[in-house]
Amino acid sequence: MKVHALTLAVLASLASTAVAADTVDPLKKAFIDDSKVKVQFRLRYEDVDVANVDQENQTTLRTRLNYQTGDIYNLFAVAEIDDVRSTDNEPLIADYAYTQINQGFIGYKGPAETLAKFGRQRILLDNQRFVGGVGFRQNEQTYDAFSVKNTAIEGLTAYYAYVATVNRIFPEGSGKEEHENETNLVNINYSGLDFAKITGYGYLIDNQDVAAFSTDTYGVRATGDIKLDALKLSYEAEFAQQSEAGDNPVSYSASYYKLGAGINLDAFGFKAGYEVLGSDDGKAGFITPLATLHAFNGWTDKFLFGGKGNWENGLVDAHVILTAKVAGLKLLAKYHKFDSDFGDIDMGKEWGVAATYPFAKHYSLGVKYASFSGADEGYSFSSDTDKLWLTFQAKY
């Protein structure tokens, strides 16, 4: 399935409709009166300093134009184009100059609270630990897919997607920008309990281009909170089991689990977590090739492992997070301690701070800094690294 042709057909339909809009009221209503146009600008400065390697900086501007039609016979269309201009393409910074179709799909609002989409689309499941869009990077990860979501039963959301192509964050011509897939994603969550939201999932990834990314993963996740006047307690618990699939050359079985607890009082919050991406005795590790990896295991992205998100020895991440809101300013601080799941390897530590200030409804300013340090002695997993980001964003 090639969505390029679909998107061109959608855009051609829009153009032809504009001609007839004055005489055909249902089309005029869908394509003009009820349509929505959104524009977003994101300007970013990024500085990367890797000890004994290099220091690089880059400024990029992403312009995003999104158009969505109104409904006509329960059908609608979305077209979204991204353009990124860059001062330079730096090998240590994963933002690139490009212009491309970020989304282009036809949607159908069916009976019994059913929504179906066909074409290039976002797929963001749960906290994006296993399937996400890498939204922090200027080039978002999207999917050429057929998806369907049903919410007919109160509190229950059932989601299925068949993915034909993963459009990754890398630029065209790099050889890494697209992965052809025959992947099935199932996610069912229930939020009808007062104390918990329960999710069960099965992600059957069959990557036709990189066989080592092919995996079958089944898991369950629970999150919830308890309110005690001004105090709120929260928790999360998750477990998943993974094995090889498709043409994956390694036969293995590895587990994932995460435990977390938090406390919030007024504008201040504290959270502690313990996450394990397990290892099959050093033969292979539990991987997450469709995840939003930047959101997990530290902002310096030391544990991407070529997009797998883990290595054969596994990864243990013990972390704490502090949050605060002061006069409209959103503050966050994080600390991670990393070790291997197999082999007792000290993989370093990282701390990071971030501040975001939204203002005047359409705008926001952000600054984020992270510093990774390798092991103090003995085995050094990776070089010390510091990263700084300055971001201005406008949405209309």
What DSSP letter does each residue of 61-88 carry, written as one string?
A: EEEEEEEE---BTTEEEEEEEEEEEES-
The pair phi, psi for residue 253, each rounded to 5°, is -145, 125
**What is the structure's pLDDT at 30?**
93
Please give the Cα distance from 298 to 266 (Å, whole number). Answer: 26
3-state secondary structure of 260: strand
Confidence check: pLDDT of 197 > 90: yes
| Cα angle value 256/242/336 (rounded, 5°) | 25
Q: Given pLDDT bands bounded at 50, 70 and 90, which one contains residue 16?
A: low
Angstrom CA distances, 92 to 96, 217, 303, 310, 390, stand at 11, 31, 14, 19, 17
User: What band does 19 get if pLDDT is binned at 50, 70 and 90?
Assistant: very low
Q: Are 318 and 349 in contact (CB under 8 A)?
A: no
Distances in Å between the alpha carbon of 160 and those of 79, 120, 202, 348, 351? 22, 15, 10, 38, 37
Predicted local confidence at residue 358, as pLDDT: 97
Residues in contact with 175: Cβ distance below 8 Å, sequence separation at least 6, in sequence order: none
Domains parsed from the chain with CATH numbers: 3-395 (2.40.160.10)
- Asked if the model's pLDDT at residue 1 lies above 50, the reply is no
Confidence check: pLDDT of 237 > 80: yes
- Mean pLDDT for the stretch of residues 270-292: 98
Q: How does pLDDT run across 33-76, given as a tens digit for each residue?
A: 999 999 999 999 999 999 988 899 999 999 999 999 999 999 99
- Supply the pLDDT for residue 52: 87
Cα 256 from Cα 118, distance rounded (Å): 31
Q: What is the pLDDT of residue 172?
A: 83
The size of the chain, in residues, is: 396
Q: Which pair of structure tokens corresponds to residue 107?
A: 């949607």
Proportion of the chain above pLDDT 70, given as a percent: 93
> How many Å apart are CA 322 and CA 130, to the nearest integer?
24
Indicate whether 14 pLDDT > 60.
no
Q: Which pLDDT does position 295 carry in this prediction?
A: 97
Give Cβ neighbours of residue 183 (< 8 Å, ≥ 6 apart).
162, 163, 166, 203, 204, 205, 206, 207
What number is the average pLDDT over the span 205-222? Answer: 98
**How many Cα atoms are found within 13 Å in the side-chain-facing hemisphere of 66?**
16
115-121 mean pLDDT: 98
Among candidates 292, 276, 294, 217, which has minimal Cα distance to 248? 217
The first and second tokens of residue 18, run together, are: 């504009």
Q: What are 329-381's pLDDT values in tens digits?
A: 999 999 999 999 999 999 999 999 999 999 999 999 999 999 999 876 656 67
Average of per-residue pLDDT across 185-195 = 96
Q: Region 298-321: what's the mean pLDDT?
A: 97
Q: pLDDT tens, 125-164?
A: 999 999 999 999 999 999 999 999 999 999 999 999 999 9
Residue 131: count of CB within 10 angstroms of its CB: 27
Cβ proximity of 120 and 140 under 8 Å: no
